[in-house]
Amino acid sequence: MAENPFDAVVAGSGIAGLRAAIEIARGGGRVAVLTKDSPTDSATDKAQGGLAAVLSDDDEVSLHFQDTIDAGDGLCHEGAVRVLVEEGPARALELIDWGARFDREGPRIALAREAAHSKRRILRAHGDSTGREIARALVATAAGEQGITLVERTFSVDLILAGGRCAGILALDESAGRPVLLRARAVILATGGAGQVFRETTNPPQATGDGMAMAYRAGAEMMDLEFVQFHPTALLLPGVPRFLLSEAMRGEGGRLENAAGDPFMTRFDRRGDLAPRDIVARGIVREMRRTGHPSVYLSMRHLDPDFVHRRFPTIAATCARHGLDIGRDRVPVTPCAHYMMGGVKTDLWGRTSIPGLYAAGETACTGVHGANRLASNSLLEGLVFGARAGRAILSDSLGPLPGGMLEDEPGEALSIDPESAREVGGSLRKVMWEGAGILRDAGGLERSIAATLDLERGLARRRATRPGVEARNLLFVGRLIAESALRRRESRGAHCREDFPDREPGRGRHSIIAPGAPVPDLPRLAVPGGD
């Protein structure tokens, strides 16, 4: 176990976590970055579409601001949106200075357009591998910083609380098979989202809501967890993992068709295939219901096949492995869980309701996305608010850490029996997809809540294992999603209640889960004299 405290521990090595760590290290701090697997194995690495930032003369920050507000359906925190769009260009140019190789048209950065954007402002890399290129550049930059220690294959289990503040993280070193205690003046949660709550998801296996669950267990405020974005187009083939087909495909002229070959999205929105994601996802589900067909189709057959293959090389190669040519074939697609707009409630500098605890990226909720995230704002959010969380830690007066040793056995945690974890996860994903998915009503949400509570009865304090703790985390986050969705008796953005189809008048209200919400059997690690 670590004896010397860090200035900060960052849980997660995606775009938000690495950007925060670089900010801290360049300010003279000493920071450990924990990652479940390898540093590049994150949701950032899988992001296809791009990074939204105003970098052209025919675009304006005010237009990016308004596009984001419009997509958020009356729930965006306008201050957070202003920070995002005003600081975004500098953060994007900084990435280029750090070696990120975005696609170019001659000497200029090539800018694409995606649904609900009024201008071409999407930076992309290698056509459809933007996240991978950003992750490569950030990992290389972080590795060159003396103040950063990258700790691989180390799974964050619980927060350490002491003296009314966060004082570190209990983690599991999977390579050595032993618990590790990392004490720190500050902790940043940047573990990404919780897509694995749902049976159908584009998220990687690591997206098990770890940061959200740890914060909730520690008593941090949570916000807007009912708002889960479902990406409209994921590859649907029997026995094949759901693979995201970028929204940029529709931005470049791709169109959605039903089984009979008819375009249908204009029946649901005047913008047709370029409507915001929530509208497109619901339109697809309703068209599948109407036709009785298990999918709709994304077609680019009316475009130049050479352009299609050149613009989307990764998607083309993946589909080709399954016998589909995206330039000539209609590709079967279905919506899948993709992104959490809600999360750990923070201010505009990543501060949570617990002193010493910060959050950034998809784990956090500043209110910047409102009820529905605008395409390609997620990578930008990680850059902008990751850097801000790092700066806040450098400037906040956090004081020395309380002394003392741990009272509890550091290898134990509230979790699911590891032998049962896979079965529990499968049951949860099924009930959440059926009861708390794209189209919701009270009955389905109540069944989801009852099922998660029943599954939680298997929780107990036992030796920590990654499968057992991940299953615990998914149970907590899944229940909070369903409970938040049941309380919101309206339809807004990505949250659609078929029994409450209208939006409440005026601006929306954020849903807050306050500290002290009842949770079964939640012992916390403690330091003598602390919480």
Hey, which residues are catalytic here?
277
Helix residue ranges per DSSP H, 223-376: 248-251, 277-291, 305-311, 313-321
Reference 52, options 42, 61, 43, 44; nearest CA is: 61
Residue with tokens 């048209």: 105
479 Cβ partners below 8 Å, 6+ apart?
448, 449, 452, 453, 456
Tokens of 33: 């970055």
Helix residue ranges per DSSP H, 219-273: 248-251
d(CA 268, CA 9) in angstroms, rounded, equals: 46
Question: Across the chain, which distance is largest between two alpha carbons, in Å?
Answer: 69
298: helix, strand or coil: strand
* Cβ burial 437-465 (10 Å sphere, 16+ → b, else e): bbebeeebbeebbebbeebbebbeebebb
351 Cβ partners below 8 Å, 6+ apart?
358, 389, 392, 396
Tokens of 304: 């130049």
d(CA 527, CA 531) in angstroms, rounded, equals: 7
d(CA 148, CA 271) in angstroms, rounded, equals: 46
d(CA 329, CA 404) in angstroms, rounded, equals: 64
* Cβ burial 316-333 (10 Å sphere, 16+ → b, else e): bebbeeeebebbebbbbb
